[in-house]
Structure 1
Amino acid sequence: MNQKKFDLLRDEVALMDKAANHLRFSLQRCVEIQGKNNYSPEELERFESLAGRFARLSDLVIQKMFRLIDQIDLENQETVRDRINNAEKKGLIKNSETFVEIRELRNSIAHEYTEQAMRKIFNTVITYCPDLLDAVERIQYYIRRYY
């Protein structure tokens, strides 16, 4: 592997780690208040921050890390589904269908505006955060092991 890919990998891992730490912080703050019928504007802002951080980390993992690892491993990665399937085969994720759902959730976060739909999205984000954070740990392990 050439030095440019090593440098890019190092930079992307640093971004991923920082984004994962931000997501963990937001997740902790939202789990504390989850399940209420009504939220204050400040509490809704916490959930919006969580959703944004979830979307960013999922993009980093799926669009950047999976793609870069596939490039380094000389794997075919034509579609997002290909990247997700390759990630499951490599042990970067536990279940490819979960990450297809995470990708779809990320798209919903970007395009949904009604308060009722956003409440459902917030709960779903909380449900999928452990899977996304587990992928971060698996990616770190894979990189240490193979590169």
Structure 2
Amino acid sequence: MNDASSILKYSYEKCKKIKIKREYTLKELDAFENLSSRFARLNDIILQKTLKTIHSIDLDEINTIRDSINLAEKKNLIKSARKMIEMRELRNSIVHEYIPDVIKSIFISALKLTPLLLKDVELINSYCTDKFIEEKDL
């Protein structure tokens, strides 16, 4: 998760300099495509692997991704369940959309939501450090 976060942060900084505009060069499109795919990948890692593992270790019974997200917010693993659901919907759009006008709105959303996703990585790391590393050291 941390490696994916670092790579996403790199893409985010690059795209932040490009900014949102009407037309992009091929190089700029490539940068935003990288941002989008890295955003989707990190979202998958968090929801499909990291949270699932944490909930399993904590012996939480989770039936749906929405349950996992809501519990993650209660545990302060993520800042906002509503925003994480929005990020998940963006991830689904990234994976399934090919229409140029929609892709531009995906770029805008990815640029807007990336800092929140990166903040959630920090919260997850903090939770794991506090809960699992300190318990092991007792």
TM-score range (shorter-chain normalised) is over 0.9
**Aligned amino acid, residue 87 of structure 2:** I
Query: 2:105 & 2:67 partners in 1: Cα distance?
Result: 28
Paired AA for residue 64 in structure 2: T
Contiguous gaps of at least 5 residues in structure 2: 133-138
Kindly provide the CA deviation profile for residues 73-132 of structure 1, in whole angstroms up to 9, marking residues without a partner as x: 000111000110110010011110111111111000000001110000000011111111
What does 1:1-147 align with in structure 2 at a 5 Å threshold?
16-147=1-132
Distance 1:71 1:83 in 2: 11
TM-aligned CA deviation for residue 36 of structure 1:
2.1
Give the partner amino acid of 2:107: F
| TM-score, structure 2 as length reference | 0.94
Whether contact under 8 Å (1:76, 1:82) holds in the other structure is no
Stretches of 4+ moved more than 4 A in 1? none
Aligned partners of 2:63 and 2:20: how far apart in 1? 40
Select between 46-55 and 36-45 the one with higher mean Cα deviation.
36-45
Which consecutive residues of structure 1, in runs of 5 or more, have no partner in the other structure? 1-15
Count of aligned pairs: 132
